[in-house]
Structure 1
Amino acid sequence: MNPRFEAIYRVNTSKKCIALTFDIGWGGKVPIPVLEALSANKVKKATFFLSSTWVSARPLLARKIKHYGYEIGSHGYRHENYTEHNNRWITSEVKVAEKTIRKATGVTCKLIRTPNGDMNQRVIQLLGSLGYSTIHWSKDSMDWTNPGVRTIIRNSTTGVQNGEILLLHASDSARQTARALPFIIRKLRAQGFTFVTVSELLRMRSK
């Protein structure tokens, strides 16, 4: 089946790899510490899903993510549930986000994570027709709830399987993510995992 027309939660692969993904919707305090934690721990591959309202407000930070070499996907424009809107509204949102992200970073996104992870088959089919693969997640760090660094680490590193997509955040609401990251990275590496982008996972899936 064409991965553009189904939501991707994880990828069945024999390779011991995981995709770290970060949603950013607002704020300028958390992204830099997250980027620095990834860089300091020599993680060269991760995927950031950027809200275009955030990109409009902080284009320099968006470009910094690109400069670090990380993959950029779309997190839409307004943070509203797509299933509650018609196709014309969704198409407009996606196109505005696409244009904004491309203008700031030079990247034409092919991956999208819907706001709140909200979707149904109609939304997935529409996004596929617009040229996007809809990316969900299979492991949720719950970092946006700020449950404590240890809990974020445990949520992110317990029972991990090959091809997982881990949901993290680099919005200012996720105040504990940057502190948890070095421990998450070390624990996953100790389990034998390497880090790949979501696009790399999708290519593994198609083989």
Structure 2
Amino acid sequence: MKNDQRLPGRRALLRLAAGLGTAGAVRVIAADPAGAPFRPAAELPEGAAGPPAVRRELPSAHRLQPMTAGSPPRFRPAAPPVRTRPFEKLSEIGHAMVLTFDDGPDPLYTPRILATLRKYDVRAMFFVCGEMADEYPDLVRAIAADGHTIGNHSWTHPLVTRLSRAGVRDELGTTSEVIEKTTGTPPFWYRAPYGAWNRNSFEIGAELGMEPMAWTLDTLDWTEPGSGTIVRRVRKGAAPGVVVLSHDAGGNRSQSVSALRRYLPELLDEGYRITVPRRR
């Protein structure tokens, strides 16, 4: 989760345009209504973005183990070429932005974020951790019922680049399984914890029918810099196609909730549509 769990170094900021490879013929478009190259763990700089090891203050769910009994669900060979860069900015959605929230769902903060999004009738992306989705299935269903996109953020939020291929398959496969079991639909998008991608994650994600999604703008809300600072970062980074990274779990996210209530109406007043990407 993005109190981004047990990482000696921190998540590398992703700054390049979306990758050119495909895991199938996919075209990203806006859905109404309303990185830099991946870096191995050894290359992650100590000062790069990413929350510290302590995660959330509510009763722990992240000690749950992945569901390792049986085979991962419906794996298929990835159709070449497999993507080698995640989407970081979406160029085909017009004067729109994408809001994303990682690490949830959380029973305290996720409902507050959903209420704000509902108030302004906009859709966002929620990259959930499997262990959290498994503990709070009603929240996962609430996210889906409001029309938001649910993505895969692994089961326990590990540093994927340090996992074996089987470990990556277990983390992503079991999370997709829980999402599909809970909502009736498997996820089409996934995001690597810490933004740390590698060949195994790209290939196994493709085998599961998922596309990799990174971000353009990191609010760094996990540092609890104050809601005003979060709002200023979003204002400064606002532009067509920008993907904003925030969190709805993993620690005290009251500042994230408060900031959303301020910057969302401002973005709408400036003419931005807040939307989610879908394949066509």
- TM-score over 0.5 for the alignment? yes
Q: For residue 156 of structure 1, give the secondary structure of its aligned residue in structure 2.
A: helix
Give me the whole-angstrom Cα distance separating, in 2, the residues matched to 1:99 and 1:122: 19
- SS of the aligned residue for 1:72 comes to strand
Decide whether aligned partners of structure 1 residues 14 and 22 sit closer, same or farther in structure 2, where only a CA change above 3 A counts.
closer
Work out the CA distance in 2 between the residues paired with 1:79 and 1:178. Answer: 22
Out of 131, 135, 138, the position equivalent to 2:216 is 138
Q: Secondary structure at the match of 1:171?
A: coil
3-state SS, counterpart of residue 198 of structure 1: strand
Equivalent residue number for residue 175 of structure 1: 254
Contact 1:143 1:169 in 2 (8 A): yes
CA shift digits 1:119-145 (9 cap, x unpaired): 134432332233211110000111122
SS at match of 2:254: coil
Contact 1:23 1:169 in 2 (8 A): yes
User: For 1:30, which of 92, 96, 109 is the aligned residue?
Assistant: 109
Distance apart, 1:176 and its partner CA: 1.1
| Structure 2 CA distance for aligned equivalents of residues 60 and 14 of structure 1 | 31
Aligned to 2:161: 83
TM-score by length of 2: 0.67
Partner of 1:13, secondary structure, is coil
After superposing the two structures, state which structure 1 stretch, 6-15 or 122-131, moved more.
Answer: 122-131
Structure 1 gap ranges (5+): none
Give SS of 1:56's match.
Answer: helix
* Residue 267 of structure 2: aligned partner: 188
1:99-118 matches, cutoff 5 A: 99-118=177-196
Match 2:95 to one of 16, 21, 27: 16
Corresponding residue SS for 1:176: helix
SS of match in other structure, 1:15: coil
Larger radius of gyration: 2
Q: Note the C-alpha offset of 1:112.
A: 0.3
Task: Report Cα offsets for 1:26-69 as digits up to 9, x if no partner.
Answer: 631001111011111222x2111111100111111111111111
Change (3 A) 1:98 1:14: closer
Shift of 1:83: 0.5
Give the AA of the match of 2:271: G
Q: Does 1:40 align with 2:113?
A: no
Deviations along 1:112-171, one digit per CA (max 9) or x if unpaired, are 011222213443233223321111000011112211111111111213221111111111
Shift of residue 25, structure 1, vs aligned partner: 3.6
Judged with a 3 Å threshold, the aligned counterparts in structure 2 of structure 1 residues 36 and 132 are, in CA distance, closer, same or farther, namely same
Q: Whole-Å Cα distance in 2 between the matches of residues 137 and 143 of structure 1? A: 14
Please tell me whether the aligned partners of residues 22 and 48 of structure 1 are also in contact (alpha carbons under 8 angstroms). yes
Segments of 5+ residues of structure 2 without an aligned counterpart are: 1-19, 24-82
- Residue pair 1:26, 1:172 contacting (<8 A) in 2 also: no
In the alignment, is residue 60 of structure 1 matched against residue 138 of structure 2? yes
Q: 1:15 and 1:105 mapped to 2: Cα distance?
A: 29
Root-mean-square deviation over aligned CA pairs:
1.8
- Consecutive aligned runs of 4 or more in structure 1 exceeding 3 Å deviation: 1-4
Instruction: State the partner residue of 2:244.
Output: 166
How many residues align? The count is: 200
More helix by percentage: 1
In the alignment, the residues of structure 2 paired with residue 85 and residue 172 of structure 1 have an alpha-carbon distance, to the nearest angstrom, of 21
User: Whose relative contact order is higher, 1 or 2, with alpha carbons under 8 Å and at least 6 apart?
Assistant: 1
Helix, strand or coil at the partner of 1:158? helix
TM-score of the aligned structures, taking structure 1 as reference length: 0.89
Contact 1:25/1:53, CA 8 A, preserved across alignment? no
| Percent identical residues | 26
